[in-house]
Chains A and B, each alone.
Chain A
Amino acid sequence: MANALSDVQATFLSLDAQYNTLRAGCKTPAQRDALAAQYSTAQQNYQSTLNATLADDDAQVAALSTQLKAANAQVVRATVELGNISKVIDDITTAVTLGAQLVGML
Chain B
Amino acid sequence: MPSPVRSYAAIFQIRAAIAAVCFGCLVLIAGCKTSEDAAAAATQMSATAKSLSDYYAALSTILSDTDRIYSLNETLYSKPYSAESRQELKTTQAELAKRITLAADLSTLAGSFAKLTSSTAPADVAAAGNNLETEVDSLASYNASTGEQNAIKSALQLLVEAVQAHKEHEAAQAMDSLASGLSALFDKEAPSWKSVDDVYVQLAATLARNLADQNAVDNSAMLKPALDPFGLAPSVPVPDLNTKLVALAKQQISARQAALISSYGNAADAMSKSLQEMLQRIHMVATDKPMAFRIPPLTVTTVEQWATEVQSH
A residues at B contact (CB < 8 Å): 2, 5-6, 9, 12-13, 16-17, 19-20, 23, 32, 36-37, 39-40, 43-44, 46-48, 50-51, 53-55, 57-58, 60-61, 63-65, 67-72, 74-76, 78-79, 81-83, 85-87, 89-90, 92-93, 96-97, 99-101, 103-104, 106
Determine whether B85 belongs to the interface, using a CB cutoff of 8 Å to chain A.
yes
Determine whether B310 belongs to the interface, using a CB cutoff of 8 Å to chain A.
no
Does A57 lie within 8 Å of B199, measured CB to CB?
Answer: no
Closest chain B residue to A55 by CB distance? B95
Given that A50-B195, A60-B185 are known contacts, is A40 also in contact with B109, CB under 8 Å in the complex?
A: no
Determine whether B175 belongs to the interface, using a CB cutoff of 8 Å to chain A.
yes
Does A75 lie within 8 Å of B174, measured CB to CB?
Answer: yes
A-B residue pairs, 5 tightest by C-beta: A47-B88, A100-B139, A89-B128, A86-B124, A78-B167
Q: How large is the interface on B (under 10, 10 to 19, 20 to 34, 35 or more residues)?
A: 35 or more
- How far is A100 from B42 in the complex, measured between Cα atoms in Å? 43
* Chain A interface SS verdict (over half): helix
Does B10 lie within 8 Å of A47, measured CB to CB?
Answer: no
Select one of A5, A43, A69, A72 contacting B195, CB under 8 A. A5
Q: A82-B160, A86-B124 are in contact. List 13 more A-B contacts (CB 8 A).
A: A13-B199, A16-B206, A40-B80, A57-B188, A61-B185, A67-B178, A68-B108, A68-B109, A82-B167, A87-B128, A89-B128, A92-B132, A103-B140
Does A6 lie within 8 Å of B191, measured CB to CB?
Answer: yes
Tell me the minimal C-beta distance from A86 to chain B in angstroms.
4
Determine whether B177 belongs to the interface, using a CB cutoff of 8 Å to chain A.
yes
Select one of A37, A40, A54, A76 contacting B189, CB under 8 A. A54
- Enumerate chain A residues within 8 angstroms of B5, measured Cβ to Cβ: 106
- Enumerate chain A residues within 8 angstroms of B77, measured Cβ to Cβ: 19-20, 23
Contact indicator per residue, chain B 19-41, by CB within 8 Å of chain A (1) or not (0): 00000000000000000000000
- Enumerate chain A residues within 8 angstroms of B174, measured Cβ to Cβ: 70-71, 74-75
Does A36 lie within 8 Å of B160, measured CB to CB?
Answer: no
Tell me the minimal C-beta distance from B161 to chain A in angstroms.
10
Select one of A17, A46, A61, A81 contacting B206, CB under 8 A. A17
Contact indicator per residue, chain B 163-178, by CB within 8 Å of chain A (1) or not (0): 1100110110011011
Tell me the minimal C-beta distance from B301 to chain A in angstroms.
25
Does A68 lie within 8 Å of B6, measured CB to CB?
Answer: no
Determine whether B287 belongs to the interface, using a CB cutoff of 8 Å to chain A.
no
Determine whether B216 belongs to the interface, using a CB cutoff of 8 Å to chain A.
no
- How far is A57 from B192 in the complex, measured between Cα atoms in Å? 11
- Enumerate chain A residues within 8 angstroms of B92, measured Cβ to Cβ: 47, 50-51, 54
Does A69 lie within 8 Å of B105, measured CB to CB?
Answer: yes
- Enumerate chain B residues within 8 angstroms of A46, measured Cβ to Cβ: 199
- How far is A65 from B10 in the complex, measured between Cα atoms in Å? 55
Does B140 lie within 8 Å of A50, measured CB to CB?
Answer: no
- Enumerate chain B residues within 8 angstroms of A20, measured Cβ to Cβ: 77, 210
- Enumerate chain B residues within 8 angstroms of A39, measured Cβ to Cβ: 79-80
Select one of A54, A67, A68 contacting B192, CB under 8 A. A54
Closest chain B residue to A87 by CB distance? B128
